[in-house]
């Protein structure tokens, strides 16, 4: 990544959403040169498929499909079906984020209907501090759903999930969610400017 012409360097930051979030947590934990990591509504355990790295395998976090709910529009609500990563045997799915070198920013939508994102962010905070690491920055947005995109993207409350192959309900109240997208975009930029270049953003994004 540092050799890519559009990567400024000398540091690398990661931004991950949903499943991409736990992949970024894994990258920050196992790869060198990751200076700052932002997670948007992500889990602290490996999800959906086993993670293979060198001779190590982290199993996927289990689930109980009986706990899923279906909306009147036949969309899946998955937030309650995932197993608790702090209970055995799910502890094996936890990503060893205490191995990461750089700081974390967790962006949390409190109306996320896919993950217990607020709970996972708190798990990360307690876990990191228990291992002598700094407390991560956590920003929570009431009534924001799972898909916190860049500003002015339309709210995606439901879609057919590419992995599950089913229509999934993500949550989010339109006005609050839109405001969360605007603020989160600025918070993410500020975080990366601080930890990648040691500066503050000069101007606001025009997006």
CA-to-CA separations, 86 to 93, 95, 165, in angstroms, rounded: 9, 11, 28
The single residue listed with the structure tokens 């009534």 is 143
Which residue, 46, 48, 24, is CA-closest to 34?
24
Examine the residue annotation and report whether 204 is marked as an active-site residue of this protein: no
In a domain, 22, yes or no: yes
Tell me whether residue 3 is in a domain: no
Q: Answer whether residue 90 is part of any domain.
A: yes
Residue 192 in tokens: 């990366």
Contact 97/29 with Cβ under 8 angstroms? yes
- Per-residue pLDDT of 158-206, as tens digits, reads 999 887 788 999 999 999 999 999 999 999 999 999 998 876 765 555 5
Is the pLDDT score of 10 beyond 90? no
Residues 149 and 18: beta-carbon distance below 8 Å: no
> What average pLDDT does this structure show over 12-25?
95
With cut-offs at 50, 70 and 90, classify the pLDDT of residue 8: confident
Q: What is the DSSP letter of 78?
A: -
Q: pLDDT at position 158, please? A: 92
Question: Is 112 known to be catalytic?
Answer: yes
Helix (H) or strand (E) holding 14: strand 12-17
Catalytic residue among 114, 146, 178, 195: 146
Q: What per-residue confidence (pLDDT) applies to 164?
A: 79
Q: How many CA atoms lie within 13 A of 18 on its CB side?
A: 15
Contacts of 64 (CB under 8 A, 6+ apart): 81, 83
pLDDT of 98-139, one tens digit each?
999 999 999 999 999 999 999 999 999 999 999 999 999 999
Q: What's the Cα-to-Cα distance from 84 to each of 53, 61, 107, 141, rounded to whole Å?
A: 23, 8, 20, 23
For the domain that residue 58 is a member of, what is the CATH number?
Answer: 3.40.50.1820
125 is catalytic: no
Q: Is residue 18 part of a domain?
A: yes
- pLDDT at residue number 70: 93
How many domains are there within the chain? Answer: 1
Q: What is the pLDDT of residue 33?
A: 86
The verdict on residue 89 lying in a domain is: yes
Of the candidates 18, 26, 78, 125, the residue annotated as catalytic is 18
- pLDDT tens by residue, 45-100: 999 999 999 999 999 999 999 999 999 989 999 999 999 999 988 999 999 999 99
Global confidence as pTM: 0.91
202 occurs within a structural domain: no
Catalytic residue among 93, 111, 112, 125: 112
- Residue 80 placed within a domain: yes
Residue numbers of the domain that contains 81: 12-197
The strands making up 158-160's β-sheet, listed across from edge to edge, are 69-70, 76-77, 167-169, 158-160
Residue 206 lies in a domain: no
Residue 188 · residue 38 · CB < 8 Å:
yes
Mean of the per-residue pLDDT values for the chain? 92
């Amino acid at each position: 990544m540092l050799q890519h012409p559009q990567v400024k360097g000398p540091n690398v930051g990661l931004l991950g959403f949903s499943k991409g979030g736990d992949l970024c947590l894994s990258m920050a934990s196992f790869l060198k040169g990751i200076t700052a990591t932002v997670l948007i509504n992500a889990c602290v355990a490996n999800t959906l498929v086993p993670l293979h790295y060198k001779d190590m395998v982290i199993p996927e976090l289990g689930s109980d499909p009986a706990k899923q709910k279906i909306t009147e529009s036949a969309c899946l609500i998955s937030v309650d079906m995932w197993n608790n990563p702090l209970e055995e045997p799910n502890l094996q799915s936890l990503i060893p984020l205490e191995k990461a070198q750089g700081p974390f920013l967790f962006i949390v939508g409190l109306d996320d209907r896919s993950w217990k994102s607020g709970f996972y962010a708190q798990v990360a905070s307690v876990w990191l501090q228990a291992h002598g690491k700094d407390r991560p920055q956590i920003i929570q947005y009431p009534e924001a759903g799972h898909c916190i995109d860049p500003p002015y993207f339309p709210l995606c409350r439901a879609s057919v999930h590419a992995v599950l192959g089913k229509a999934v309900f993500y949550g989010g109240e339109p006005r609050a969610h839109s405001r969360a997208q605007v603020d989160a975009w600025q918070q993410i930029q500020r975080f990366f400017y601080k930890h990648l270049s040691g500066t503050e953003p000069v101007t606001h994004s025009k997006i």
